[in-house]
Amino acid sequence: MSNRSVLSGGRVTSAKLDREFNDKPPVQTVGSGRRHITTEQLVERLKSSAEAGDVSGGLRTLSDYVGADGYLLARHELNSENGLDNVISSDWPFDLVRKRGTELITRLSRTTELEKCLSVLQPAFSMLPEDSALPAGASREYCTIIFSTGRNRYVLMFICPTDVILSQQRLRETGVLASYFASLLFHDTIKIGRDMDLTDRELECLYWIAEGKTSDEIATIIGISKNTINNYITSVMRKTATRTRSEAIAYAVRHNLV
């Protein structure tokens, strides 16, 4: 993959990619001591936050575990125009969330689907602009982790403290735990149905068209008339406000409908 610097504005892979997970770093190198918690405490606290429905409490626990100075959790949606709507919870100063958070989230949405798939649970480091208003003791460096819970994709950001390097291994673990936490808490907000009210037949036609089949061929495959197929396509184009078949397919691929 040529373009792995998905989340970058600045430098990306500051820490080494211990990809095989063999060299698990010693626990005590992380956490700067002041808010250090053990895995047991972490699991216990996360569990009670999940039971109480306390999103910020759970995220604070994760932030402490990883040794960060502040968190931001947002939904990572396709073509999100207003990033602020997607922010679920953050303990960053409001100005920072408003000015920078939206910008960062919008930047993330400008990557291809494959790049997004390959960035899941890969901690990426970048720098905030110089004029950002930061919490006390925080550096301009922040870390981004993307994780999925069912069909929903989330982005979790941590502000790094000035004097400590966050462990890649621990950041990944935090991403996994955050996805468990989100599975328990946002269970009801997960979209099971589709955004658009396309029918199963319409989706089936779209699927076959994307595979390069003509109306005639689809008619044979599904066993209905060619004119009916064409009617389905017309109705898809009307519902998705697209002008040509090509655009309708492009739309369907972009929105993971086929």
Partner 1 sequence: MPMKETRTVSDQMKRQSKAVSRSDFFPRLVAMQRFAHARNFAVLKTNNSGLPSRRKLTCILDNFPTDGEIAASSILEAYGTFLLEHLEVSSLPLLWNGRDDAQTAETPDFAAFVIRLKNRVLPVCGIALPVRLGSMGNGYTVFAANYLDITSEIIIDLHARSHQMMMDLLVLDERRSAPDEVLSNREIACLQLAGDGLVSEEIAGQLGLSVHTVNAYLASATVKLDSVNRIQAIAKAIRLGYIA
Q: Residue 245 CB, nearest distance to partner 1 (Å)?
A: 6
Work out how close the CB of 162 gets to partner 1 at its nearest, in angstroms, rounded to a whole number.
27
> Torsions phi, psi of 39, nearest 5?
-60, -40
Q: In the numeric block, which tokens belong to residue 176?
A: 């996994």
DSSP of 211-251, one letter per residue? Answer: TT--HHHHIIIIIS-HHHHHHHHHHHHHHTT-SSHHHHHHH
What is the distance, to the nearest Å, from the Cα of residue 131 to the centroid of all Cα atoms in its chain?
A: 26
* Token pair belonging to 28: 């005590």
If the CB atoms of residues 11 and 151 are measured against partner 1, the closer one turns out to be 151
Residues that bind partner 1 (CB under 8 A): 1, 19-21, 24, 39-40, 43, 46-47, 50-51, 112-118, 120-121, 147-151, 153, 172-173, 175-177, 179-180, 182-184, 187, 190, 192, 200, 203-204, 207, 209-212, 214, 242-247, 249-250, 252-254, 256-258
Handedness of CA 44, 45, 47, 48 (dihedral sign): positive
Distance CA 108, CA 41 (A): 33
DSSP 31: S
